[in-house]
Amino acid sequence: MAGRVVKQERAIRTRATLIRAAAEVFAESGFAGASVSNIARRAGLTLGAMYFHFQNKEELAREIVLSQPATVVPPLESRGLQHAVDITLTWAYGMLDNPVLLAGARLVTDQEQFVSPRDNSHAQWTEIITQDFLEARRLRELRSGAEVAPMARLIVNACTGAQMHASLESGRRDLPQRVEETWRCVLPSLAVPSTAKRLEFGEARGRGL
């Protein structure tokens, strides 16, 4: 029994090492420029170990894209609109140094090669923000005419665009500020005034500092 547990733990560690190595390679080289040999080399593992866990780079890329939401966990507890804000800020700060998130950003334009449309990153994030907006509606935080689905898509589209421009113009250093600007522009047409006034922003919401 003990030997089986040790093997399972070793397999979990090896898989995690491969995912991180793949994320680093994808973030640097993109999907087309990455190879399984480069990923295995970065992980310090043999190709045999690589193929034991993942059949090809498509499977690795899919794992990275599908795992994006699980890596974005706001440090502070919140609900409704504040949670939507916190999710986007945690993502924005994570984009500064998290290899899995950086790989996800680089893989966006190639997702059709390894992820179905209903599971791509845009669909995942839109669903998460939609659920936060639905909760915000139940909490009476939204204006009566605010449309949940279009607004959720708008936030995701704006954050995606902000990431792309920040990558080109500042190395993403100002991405959190760009995300905050997006919210401040959208909130007047989305939130009731009392809710908009009490929403919190800043590094504390994204990193817990």
The structure tokens listed for 167 are 């990558």
C-beta contacts of 191-200 below 8 A and 24+ residues apart = 191/81, 191/136, 191/141, 191/142, 191/143, 191/146, 192/140, 192/141, 192/142, 192/143, 195/81, 195/136, 195/141, 195/142, 199/81, 199/82, 199/85, 200/82, 200/85
For 7, 137, 155, 177, 190, the CA distances from 194, given in Å and listed in that order, are: 55, 14, 21, 23, 12
Q: Which amino acid is at 119?
A: D
Check pLDDT > 70 for residue 119.
yes
Check pLDDT > 70 for residue 4.
no
Q: Name the 3-class secondary structure at 142.
A: strand
The structure tokens listed for 5 are 């547990």
Name the pTM for this structure: 0.91
pLDDT at position 117 is 85
169 vs 112 pLDDT, higher one: 169
Check pLDDT > 90 for residue 84.
yes
Averaged pLDDT, 128-144: 97
pLDDT digits 0-9 by tens, 181-197: 999 999 999 999 999 99
Averaged pLDDT, 148-166: 96
Highest mean pLDDT among 50-54, 105-109, 114-118, 191-195 belongs to: 191-195
11 vs 183 pLDDT, higher one: 183
Q: Which amino acid is at 128?
A: I
Q: What percent of the chain has pLDDT over 70?
A: 97
pLDDT at position 6 is 67
Confidence of residue 86 (pLDDT cuts 50, 70, 90): very high
**Category of 86 on φ-ψ map: left (φ > 0), alpha (ψ -120 to 50) or beta:** alpha
C-beta contacts of 5-9 below 8 A and 24+ residues apart = none
Where do the domains of the chain lie, and which CATH numbers do they carry? 2-64 (1.10.10.60), 68-207 (1.10.357.10)
Confidence of residue 8 (pLDDT cuts 50, 70, 90): confident
Length of the chain: 209
